[in-house]
């Protein structure tokens, strides 16, 4: 007997109606996370809030972790788009280090305003669900693309390593703040120190 494929449907293969259901599930999940937190959230609650049957929800997301990883990834992408739009405008700082400092500070402030989403990001980062991991890899790629968009001064030879360093330090400081190992002020100070250390050599004259 052949195995039944229980993998969730790929986003690119979804119809408009299916994409709408997916958006409804994600919106419901984010709303519930902000209301009751990550730990108490259950797929049944998301199903009821979104109007999508529980069995149908599992056709889109393999698990609670997969849904939450997809939800925070979508929210994070919108955050990045807003930050990049501002930092490519006429009021953006001229120096690349200043632009990236503003980038990470804007990101930290956004999570400060919605601390439950910061907890969500840290929580799903520890998930072993392969589909959750795939969503988080997608988020990491989005971070890299956004950082490269605001640091055109950085030469191609280091365009792989510089966003990797900045992105990982941002994630590490966010995790340290969420888990109570540092204050937000100290996290932002260390972030700025690392950004300036890494990027000051590429300041365009």
Transcribe the chain into DSSP letters: -PPP--PPPPGGG--HHHHHHHHHHHHHHHHHHHHH-TTT--HHHHHHHHT--HHHHHHH-SSHHHHHHHHHHHHHHHHHHHHHHHHTSTTS-SSHHHHHHHHHHHHHHHHHHSHHHHHHHHHHHT---HHHHHHHHHHHHHHHHHHHHH-TTS-GGGTTHHHHHHHHHHHHHHHHHHTTSS-HHHHHHHHHHHHHHHHGGG---
pTM of the predicted model as reported, rounded to 2 decimal places: 0.90
- CA atoms of 84 and 50, how far apart (whole Å): 31
Comparing 153 with 64, which gets the higher pLDDT?
Answer: 64
Cα–Cα separations (whole angstroms), residue 102 to 49, 59, 75, 205: 36, 39, 19, 19
Tell me what pLDDT residue 205 has: 43
Residue 139 has pLDDT above 50, yes or no: yes
Tell me what pLDDT residue 187 has: 97
What residues contact residue 55 under an 8 Å CB cut-off, 6+ apart?
none
The average pLDDT across 51-79 equals 96
Tell me what pLDDT residue 162 has: 95
The average pLDDT across 138-146 equals 95
Note the pLDDT tens digit of each residue in 143-187.
999 999 999 889 999 999 999 999 999 999 999 999 999 999 999
């Amino acid at each position: 007997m052949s195995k039944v494929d229980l993998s969730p449907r790929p986003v690119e293969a979804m119809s408009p109606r299916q994409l709408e259901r997916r958006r409804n599930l994600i919106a419901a999940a984010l709303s519930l996370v902000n209301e009751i937190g990550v730990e108490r959230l259950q797929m049944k609650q998301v199903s009821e809030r979104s109007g999508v049957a529980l069995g149908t929800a599992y056709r889109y997301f393999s698990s609670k972790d997969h849904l939450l990883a997809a939800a925070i990834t979508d929210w994070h992408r919108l955050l990045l788009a807003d930050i990049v739009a501002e930092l490519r405008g006429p009021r953006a700082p001229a120096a690349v280090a200043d632009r990236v400092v503003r980038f990470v500070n804007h990101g930290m402030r956004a999570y400060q305003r919605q601390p439950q989403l910061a907890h969500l990001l840290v929580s799903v980062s520890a998930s072993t669900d392969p589909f959750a991991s795939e969503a988080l890899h997608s988020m990491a790629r989005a971070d890299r693309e956004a950082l490269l968009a605001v640091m055109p001064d950085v030469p191609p030879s280091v365009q792989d390593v510089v966003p990797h360093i900045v992105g990982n330090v941002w994630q590490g400081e966010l995790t340290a703040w969420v888990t109570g190992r540092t204050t937000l002020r100290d996290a932002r100070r260390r972030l700025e120190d690392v950004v300036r250390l890494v990027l000051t050599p590429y300041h365009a004259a």
